[in-house]
Each structure stands twice: as structure tokens, then as C-alpha cells.
């Protein structure tokens, strides 16, 4: 069961390792936030990473946080995840969630998956799969225009 719309952002804690700086829910208060779940073994995820970077650059008022969600035993290896973060120039905070702490808190089952929170920390949009990014654009613009 996925997070319901208008629910508060869950805690972002229990991360195995952070890359590009650690982030907490408290630090995100008062800002629009996009939480992006992805996996190194997901081809569709890797295809979406350049567009995630473009969103981060185009909308600097939006805080983007990546969460790596392992889908297999091999995905638990941290070095290849870090290499992928470097290769795709993911400059925003990346949480490697090998214990599934954030994955479980968000009740997330899919990659790629996107959770968009408004400045009040309430979930305003969620989408997953191939069309997730295109479904995100309208709600993202509305939230950023409100702020």
C-alpha cells in the first residue's frame, strides 16, 4: 500500500550510507521536495537519471533526494552504486538504503518511483514506472508556483 496523498513525509533515516551529503526530514521542512527511488539493476531507472538531473538544475528551489533501493543481493554492493552515482553525475544527496528503512517508511515497492512533497511536507504526487517522470511535471509545476 503506497503512501496516501496529503500525508506527511515519512522519516528519512536508517540509511546505510549517504553520498553527496546527508539529509534529514527536519532539514527539508519548508521546502518542496522530490524523493526519487531508483536501483542500479533497473535499466529504466538509469534512463531516467539524466532527466532527474535536468529537473534538479532547472528547478533549484526543489530539493531532490535520491534513494537507492536494492532489488537483488548484487544491488547491496555499495561500490557499484557509488560508481553509478558518479557516472550519471547525481550531485544531489543519495541515500543507499540497504536496510530498506526509507523504502519501508515510504511503503515503496517500485523503481523508478517519485514522491513529490509540498512546502508543508505533505505528499502531493506519486508516480512509478516508465511514465513516472512525465506524470510528475504538471503537479511539480503547480507546487513550485504555489511556493
pLDDT in tens, 107-134: 999 999 999 999 999 999 999 998 999 9
Tell me what the pLDDT averaged over the chain comes to. Answer: 95
Instruction: Give the percent of the chain with pLDDT over 90.
Output: 94
Which cell numbers in the block locate residue 92? 544531489
- pLDDT given at position 1: 55
Q: What pLDDT band is residue 4 in, cutting at 50, 70 and 90?
A: very high
**Distance in angstroms (rounded) separating the CA atoms of residues 105 and 52:** 22
* Of the listed ranges 15-19, 37-41, 48-52, 129-133, the one predicted with least confidence: 129-133
Q: What pLDDT band is residue 66 in, cutting at 50, 70 and 90?
A: very high
- pLDDT given at position 2: 72
Give the start-to-end residue ranges of the domains of the chain: 94-124
> Does residue 60 register a pLDDT over 60?
yes
What is the residue whose three cell numbers read 515519512? Answer: 10
Neighbour order of strands in the sheet with 63-68? 17-19, 94-96, 63-68, 33-38, 113-117, 123-128
> Does residue 93 register a pLDDT over 60?
yes
- pLDDT given at position 31: 96
- pLDDT given at position 146: 80
Amino acid at each position: 500500500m503506497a503512501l496516501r496523498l496529503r500525508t506527511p513525509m515519512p522519516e528519512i533515516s536508517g540509511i546505510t550510507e549517504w553520498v553527496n551529503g546527508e539529509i534529514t526530514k527536519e532539514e527539508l521542512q519548508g521546502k518542496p521536495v522530490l524523493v526519487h527511488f531508483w536501483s542500479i539493476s533497473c535499466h529504466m531507472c538509469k534512463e531516467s537519471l539524466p532527466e532527474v538531473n535536468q529537473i534538479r538544475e532547472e528547478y533549484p528551489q526543489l530539493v531532490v533526494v535520491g534513494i537507492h533501493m536494492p532489488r537483488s543481493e548484487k544491488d547491496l554492493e555499495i561500490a557499484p552504486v557509488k560508481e553509478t552515482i558518479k557516472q550519471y553525475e547525481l550531485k544531489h544527496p543519495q541515500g543507499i538504503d540497504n536496510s530498506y528503512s526509507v523504502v519501508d517508511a515510504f511503503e515503496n515497492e517500485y523503481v523508478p518511483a517519485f514522491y513529490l512533497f509540498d512546502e508543508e511536507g505533505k505528499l502531493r504526487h506519486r508516480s512509478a514506472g516508465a511514465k513516472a517522470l512525465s506524470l510528475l511535471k504538471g503537479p511539480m509545476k503547480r507546487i513550485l508556483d504555489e511556493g
